[in-house]
Amino acid sequence: MSDKSQIPWIVFADRAEVRAAPVQDSDSVRTVSHGGMVFGTQLEIHPSTNEEWLKLDPEWYGGGGMYVSRSTVHRVHPSNQVEGDLPIGSEKVDRWWGLPLDYEPSDLVYIPVKYALRGREDYQLRREVAEALAVMLDAAREDGIDIRVTSAYRSGPRQRTIYLRNISRNGPGQRASAPPGHSEHQLGTTVDLTDPEGRHSFSQAFDKTPQGKWLEKNANRFGFRRSYYPDNVEETGYISEPWHWRYHGKPEDSEKE
């Protein structure tokens, strides 16, 4: 892979302010407009606001000690710069590395409404994932457990809207929603799951429900893994999410990794 410092962070917000200190009320040294690039490899977290700041590389910005709020920029992993669809299972999407905002799998299909919370018709997943999900949810139903989908594929622009709304409500230190390009939902391989009434949607208590317990015990053999646990919050940058499950391929395929 190429030198990390050569890979730009791209401004997805309307603009990004370059500041002399990692705090919002410090002076703006310059403004980078939407679509512009900045370079840096180090993230610092402000202890009182929990906001992440990208320390800009002095090589690019002379003098050093310049910062841009992480809530305004995203970065694309070189392996995600592809023509066509990413192979399922090893896509690199986390807090550090993301997808181009216009990446959209070509094989998205609508999932049957019987698996959707409140019969919604607009949930999409990649074809292989939708098939694996149906097999898993049918198996759960045979065990008497009804599990529903409450979120599936989300486009880059849609994630941008959600993220910007979330930080305007809860501040740039929030960790509940991923920056655009950095959401596993954009892969078309990831679902948020809940009970048939949606009482435990996006709830930390979901893993105490029959649905959550069934998933913890059985999902892996259908190729689905929970992404965020309490013990990987630091590493992933996201809160623990017992409802968020990503498909990594059929288990016999992934064992070869």
Residues forming contacts to Zn ion in the complex (CB under 5 A) are: 192, 244
Given the residues 51, 241, 252, 255, the one annotated as active site: 241
Give the residue with the Cβ less far from Zn ion, 51 or 192.
192
| Tokens, residue 159 | 């994630």
Q: Are 31 and 81 in contact (CB under 8 A)?
A: no
Give the residue with the Cβ less far from Zn ion, 244 or 248.
244
Exposed, middle or buried, 239 (CB in 10 Å: 0-12/13-18/19+)? Answer: middle
Q: Are 93 and 186 in contact (CB under 8 A)?
A: yes
CB of 138 to Zn ion, least distance (A): 22
CB of 192 to Zn ion, least distance (A): 4
241 is catalytic: yes
Give the residue with the Cβ less far from Zn ion, 192 or 207.
192
CB of 148 to Zn ion, least distance (A): 14
DSSP codes of every residue in 194-213? E-TT-TTTT-GGGGGSHHHH
DSSP codes of every residue in 85-132? PPPTT----SSS-B--TT---TTEEEPPGGGBGGG-S--EEEHHHHHH
CB of 158 to Zn ion, least distance (A): 13
CB of 151 to Zn ion, least distance (A): 6
Give the residue with the Cβ less far from Zn ion, 139 or 162.
162
Question: Using CA atoms, how far apart are residues 157 and 160, in angstroms rounded to an integer?
Answer: 5
Nearest to Zn ion by Cβ — which residue? 244
Task: Map residue 217 onto helix, strand or coil.
Answer: helix
Give the residue with the Cβ less far from Zn ion, 16 or 93.
93
The set of catalytic residues is 241
